Amino acid sequence: MTVPATRGAAAPSSPSGVWLRRYRPVADPAVRLVCFPHAGGSATACLGLAAGLAGAGVEVLAVQYPGRQDRRGEPFVKTVDALVEAVLPELREWTGGPFALFGHSLGGTLAYETARRLTALGEKPVHLFVSGRRAPTVPRTDTAHLLDDRALIARIAALQGTDPELLRDEELLRMVLPALRNDYGMAGSYRHLVGTPLSVPLTVLTGDSDPNVSVDDARRWSEVAGGPVELHVLPGGHFFLDEHPENVRHIIEEALDHVR
């Protein structure tokens, strides 16, 4: 299936499977933005983007990973490759018009690998956004999934993206820790396979005090890019995008101006 260059290509009126959520439908969107949440996250993490971008003609489709929220009873997916392959059939129902991919943290890796896979299928996105994620060429071993519960909670708290009160709620922690542990394991097992540089315009966003991603780590995304790359460094830590939603939205809108 090839991507038509025209706006308003036919697509389902709503997601027909379990992988995508369409919180703010946009009539005849100029472009669709597929959003991959962070480790332990769910589709609702993309609600802010969906609301903020709808007025700009950008429709957000949020990926819902198994094992959380309305998919709580489903088994987790263990690897990046397996998750990309699982989401592709439903996602390809929506690639008949211009579309872009956005991912934060682990979601950045998933968005990147999805862009590679779709490009190989002749369905190249118009843009890729990676946020809060080091380049796949940066050597690093992720072992957070091997920590005991107390140490894993401390690791989450250090990222400053979770209300401290929630981290003291034992019932809630019992619900979310399995997803976090699985997703950290997914990140730990990921190995980048060298291939043709991705010929998709790339925007990289990072926080200037992210304990997981240095600015140099973010800058190295240029090593896998075969097209233009822009790096935006915003104030904040790993969840800088929660502190500066308007800035993030503006960056996305500007990057997509050529298709809006």
Q: Tell the residue number behind the tokens 């990046």, with chain if given.
A: 80
Question: Cα–Cα distances in Å, from 23 out to 44, 193, 260?
Answer: 9, 34, 20
Domain count of the chain?
Answer: 1
Q: Taking 70 as the threshold, does the pLDDT of residue 107 lie above it?
A: yes
Residue 82 belongs to domain spanning: 20-138+197-259
Q: Is 145 a catalytic residue?
A: no
Residue 137 vs residue 170, higher pLDDT: 137
Q: Model-level pTM greater than 0.85?
A: yes
What is the per-residue pLDDT across 139-197, written as a single tens digit (0 to 9) for each?
876 766 556 777 777 777 666 555 445 555 555 566 678 888 899 889 989 999 998 89
- What percentage of the chain has pLDDT greater than the value 90? 65
What is the per-residue pLDDT across 60-102, written as a single tens digit (0 to 9) for each?
999 999 998 899 899 999 999 999 999 999 999 998 899 999 9
Q: Is 105 a catalytic residue?
A: yes
Is 67 a member of any domain?
yes
Is 71 a member of any domain?
yes
Q: Tell the residue number behind the tokens 């009873």, with chain if given.
A: 73
Is 152 a member of any domain?
no
Is 62 a member of any domain?
yes
Query: What are the residues facing 103 on neighbouring strands?
Result: 36, 130
**Pick from 117, 108, 58: nearest CA to 87:** 117
Is 158 a member of any domain?
no
The answer to whether the beta carbons of residues 207 and 238 sit under 8 Å apart is yes
Is 101 a member of any domain?
yes
Tokens at 88, concatenated: 């592709």
Tokens at 105, concatenated: 């943290």
Is 2 a member of any domain?
no
What is the per-residue pLDDT across 116-131, written as a single tens digit (0 to 9) for each?
999 999 999 999 999 9
Residue 123 belongs to domain with CATH number: 3.40.50.1820
Q: Which of 42, 105, 127, 131 is catalytic?
A: 105
The answer to whether the beta carbons of residues 125 and 101 sit under 8 Å apart is yes
Is 124 a member of any domain?
yes
